Structures are given as C-alpha cells and as structure tokens.
Structure 1
Amino acid sequence: MSLTTATSTVAAAKAPADPRRNELAAFLRSRRERITPEQVGLPMTGRRRTPGLRREEVAQLAAVGVTWYTWLEQGREIQVSVQVLDAVARALLLDASERAHLFALAGAEDPTPVVECPTVSPGVRMTLEQMAPYPAAVINSRYDVLAHNAQYAGIVGDLEALPPEDRNLMWLAFTPSRFHEVLVDHEEERHVMVARFRSGMGEHGAEPAWRTLLCRLRKASPAFDAAWQRHDVLRPGNGLKRFLVPEVGLLRLDYTSFWLGPTQGSRMIVYTPRDEETRALVARLPTRLPSAEGR
C-alpha cells in the first residue's frame, strides 16, 4: 500500500461522524447510566464499576442483540428501525420529551407520537380576554381554533355554532364559510396556509387527526388538492391579513404568534391594527362572544 493510500485510509477512519450520531450515542449512555437494575426488575449482580445498567442489560430489555446495541451507543452508521427505537425507548424508561429527542436524533418518525393536548388553560383564556379590543385566538399547528375572544368571533363568525371538527381555519378557508367570505386576499392566504400545513404534516403525518383532516380537505376542495400537489412548504410566521367585515369595514391587521410551549405547536395569534383607520374600525367589533348573547 502506498503512503498516499494509507494516509487516505487513516483519514477516512478518523473522519468525523454525523454530529447527530455522536449526540445519539451520548444521549443513550446518559439515559442508561441513570437507571438502576431494580427499576427495571433486574437483580443486582455484584459491584458495578459504572452507575446504571450495562449495555447487555439494555439489549436484553429491548430484545435486541448486544453487539447491535453497542454499535448504536457508539454512534456507528447502522440502520435503525422504528420498532427497535420504540423498544429501546421503553427499556430506558424515556418520558415523552426524551422519546421525541431519541427519534429526532435517529432521524426516524415516531410511530406513536405524543398527541398535542387540545385543552387551553384558564390562564391562557384570561390572557385572550385581556387582548381586547384586539382580536386574538389560540390555534394549533393543524389550524384548529382552540379558543378565541369576542373580537375574533366578530371577524370569522360564531365558531361555537360549528361542529368541533369544522372549527379549523384550513377547513373554513377552503369551504363556504364566513372566514372565506371576509378574507380579502384569500387566494394568496390559502396557498400560504397549505404550505404551512404541509410543513407541520412532516412532523405529525402519523397522527390520525392530521390524516383525517387532509383526506377531508382533498375530497371537499379541488382548490386545496391543487395547492397540496404543489408541495410548497413554509414555517409558521407573522404577517398582514386583510378582512372585509360586514358592518365594520376593511381591517388591515398585523398578526403576531406567541408560542404556548417549547415546540411550534399551539400558539396565541393576536391581530393589531396596521393603521389608524383600522384602529378606529376595530372598536366596532363585538365585545361579547355570540354564545354569551343569550345568557
């Protein structure tokens, strides 16, 4: 072997691995070392030089080969199935956040992801009310409207009168609705919404609620299906929306998202006037939710 060839071979062997593999290896070791045999029903077998479980014990609990698990914890480039990752997650007693981190580092889609909780806390509801006179709503990454104030209802209509599965801005934008009617730039806005929905679908595609909504939209709206076929993607962001609201006028509103958790899931969107004319018109929006009118 020539000196050049030998040097290249050594360099290749020392080439840095995928950073995610190194992080995955370190993460697995840290989770393994925090678990005692008693926690997983294994007997103590003499004194241990290092804390936690041994690699062979994790392999036993996950029903995988010891050599294979050792390679995984060493950050080697091996193919990892979601079934094996699921078994390792259970063997290491990972919580929801740790499990999501494991699958992200492995570059795999979790077959049983944690479903985003649709509830809104009393504190968030109080904050929504305090946003008045500005319209505000809590929306998840699937565009479900989870909560809103009276001013928002004054723009998009009485959402409480709709079936729960229809209280979704994607559905309202592509089917006959008050939201579709008042949204001035609806063609442009709908393409943006579809691109952001597709971006979210990449992280939640295994969830039944997402797949059900996608199927409903494609069947109900040729316009949605055409936009979906473009494969455009866009992350959530802020911007301007224009609404032509009956008995109120043309509202030019900047919308700003305030995330309610550590991930881009549910967010509170607050609409603020772009100009003084809109500021005056916003005062004409209702101050009570339609569902409270009869109380």
Structure 2
Amino acid sequence: MDKQQLGAFLRSRRERLLPQDVGLTAGPRRRTKGLRREEVAVLAHISTEYYVRLEQGRAPRPSAEVLAGIANALRLTDAESEHLHVLAGTAPSRTAHHRRDVRPSIIALLERLPQTAGFVTSAIFEVLACNDLAAALMEDFRELPPRQRNLARRAFLGPASLYGVSDVTEFRHHVVMELRATLARYPHDPEVSGLVEELKASEDFARLWEQHDVRGETMLTKTFRHPLVGEITVDCDSLALTDSDQHLVLYSAPAGSRDAEALALLSVVGTQGFDATERRPGTLR
C-alpha cells in the first residue's frame, strides 16, 4: 500500500468533482475546491474520520468494499478504479521489475506483418523490438542504445521533433498517465522511479504529473511528416501483451489509400541503406 500516493490520488479526484456532479447542492458559502471530504465519506458510506485519514496517508489498508464505495463516490473510471486498487495494495501482485524480454512469437509476428509498421514497447515506453517499416517510418531503434530508445524520454527531453507526429501534446499526456500507472505497479523498480524523476526536469511533465490522471482516450490515428515521402496518416492499434505488461503497437493504412501507397514506398525507399542482417526484427539489447 502506497499511503502517500493513495492520499494524493484521492484528493486530486475529489477536487475535480462539483457538488452537482453527484447530486448535491453547492450552497452559497462553499470555499472548498471540489467536494468536501465529509461529502465523499457520506457518498461512500464510510466515516468522515476514516476518509480524512486516507487522504492524509494515515489510515490502514481499506477493504475492497470500502474502495468500491469510494470509487463510486468519486465517479472513477474503470482505469482509475484499477489504479486505486493498485495504490491500496489490493490488486493482484506483479513481479518487482517490469519485463524487457519479448516473446519469440511476437518477434516472428513483426516480421510477417504486411505493410504495417510494428514495434513493442515496455511498461516505461522503451522500444524493445521493431520491424523494418517501423524503422523506416520513425528510426532504426536497433541501432540506438537503450536510453535513446525510450519514447517517453524523447517526448519530454528531446530532440525537439518527435518523428514529425501531429499529436505530440496528446502523446505526452498519454505517456504521463501510463507512467503513473506503471509506477504504482512497480514501486520498487529503480528503472521506473528513476525515469519518472528524470522526466520531472521537464516543466510539461511535472505539470501533467501533478494532475494524477490515469489512462485517457486511445489514440486512433496519427500523422507523420516524413522527410522522404511527406505526410502519412496511419491507423494506430496498441495491443496489450498482458503476460509481460508490454504493448504491440501497429501503424497501418486502409488498402488503396494514398497513405497505404506512401507506406509501401517507404518500405522500399526507407530501408535501402540497411544491411540484410540488420533488418531482421528482434529484441534490442
């Protein structure tokens, strides 16, 4: 149970709710930002004293029933409710460290994908494997040291251009939300906590981190501005590899579209400089 983070998360969700959001009357003298603690306690069917202690990081671990009541009172989304259970220590436990090994079957799948840029990311946004088209569309991660393969680090600490994508702001918000959930799952993994502390050097990251958001809307499309073939708008599919807490990210375009033609051209033009042995997808080291 991470008492301090649990308290901060509860406080951030409470302060975002208005009385009318939960069927209460605001009243003329309300000074509290969001709901009052006693209002949340009443809605959750728990004592005000206990809820106050939860926010202050002084309460013992709440039961699943209490957490369900709080989640309902604060109108938490499914993702936020899951995060609440992780912080409270009532979610199924994972290993102490996030995984970086990629299943051989996923590596083989990357190689067989037709006209699709594919790569695998770890729980902290390190690109662990990629195919030729992903290398041509973005960059050849297979040639980079681990620090430079991290998309979260690149998004906040540079270089300035993130592969010419159109949704840098949305991606940054997505990164922060995912890293907050990751830190809750792996509180003792120094790579996770170290990356978060490093990224706090970015004012944008620090500001978004303080919002305590957890998992927003899925990004369905993305536009790249590629130096060789111009703009390419792709469909984005991120498939969770739940056994390893990784994601298989796929960029594709509708058959027959101009974007599909651009990807096909890029699959030829963009990999001409690679040696055949370097083009095989695989786990990066």
**TM class, shorter-length:** 0.5 to 0.7
Closer, same or farther: CA 195–165 of 1 in aligned 2, 3 Å: same
Contact in 2 for aligned 1:111/1:206 (Cα 8 Å): no
Q: Which amino acid aligns with 1:154?
A: A
Q: 2:263 aligns with which of 282, 289, 292?
A: 282
1:292 aligns with 2:275: yes
Task: From the CA coordinates, give the structure whose radius of gyration is larger.
Answer: 1
1:133 aligns with 2:115: yes
Contact in 2 for aligned 1:252/1:274 (Cα 8 Å): no
Q: 1:141: how far off?
A: 2.1
Q: Give secondary structure in 1 for the equivalent of 2:129.
A: strand
Matches within 5 A, 1:1-295: 79=60, 107=89, 113-177=95-159, 180-219=162-201, 221-234=202-215, 237-262=218-243, 265-273=245-253, 276-286=257-267, 288=271, 292=275
In the aligned structure 2, how far is the partner of 1:150 from the partner of 1:135? 7
Deviates more, 1:209-218 or 1:110-119: 110-119
Closer, same or farther: CA 249–125 of 1 in aligned 2, 3 Å: same
Partner of 2:11: none
* Aligned CA-pair RMSD: 3.4
Contact in 2 for aligned 1:157/1:178 (Cα 8 Å): no
Q: Which amino acid aligns with 2:178?
A: R
Contact in 2 for aligned 1:150/1:289 (Cα 8 Å): no
Unaligned runs of 5+ in 2: 1-58, 62-84, 279-285
Unaligned runs of 5+ in 1: 1-77, 81-102
Which deviations, in whole Å up to 9, do the C-alpha atoms of 1:62-110 show, x marking residues without a partner? Answer: xxxxxxxxxxxxxxxx957xxxxxxxxxxxxxxxxxxxxxx97983589
Q: Give secondary structure in 1 for the equivalent of 2:200.
A: helix
Contact in 1 for aligned 2:174/2:216 (Cα 8 Å): no
Deviates more, 1:123-132 or 1:174-183: 174-183
Q: Give secondary structure in 1 for the equivalent of 2:99.
A: coil
Q: Which amino acid aligns with 1:260?
A: L
In the aligned structure 2, how far is the partner of 1:187 from the partner of 1:158? 23
Q: Which amino acid aligns with 2:214?
A: V
Q: 1:292: how far off?
A: 3.2
Q: Which amino acid aligns with 2:228?
A: E
**How many residue pairs end up in the alignment?**
196
Contact in 2 for aligned 1:195/1:231 (Cα 8 Å): yes
In the aligned structure 2, how far is the partner of 1:200 from the partner of 1:143? 10
Closer, same or farther: CA 105–181 of 1 in aligned 2, 3 Å: closer
Closer, same or farther: CA 266–289 of 1 in aligned 2, 3 Å: farther
In the aligned structure 1, how far is the partner of 2:205 from the partner of 2:88? 33
Q: Percent identity at matched positions?
A: 25
Which deviations, in whole Å up to 9, do the C-alpha atoms of 1:147-203 show, x marking residues without a partner? Answer: 011111112212233221221111111233386141122122212222222232222
- Between the two structures, name the one with larger relative contact order (CA 8 Å, sep ≥ 6): 2
- After TM superposition, the score normalised by the length of structure 1 is 0.57
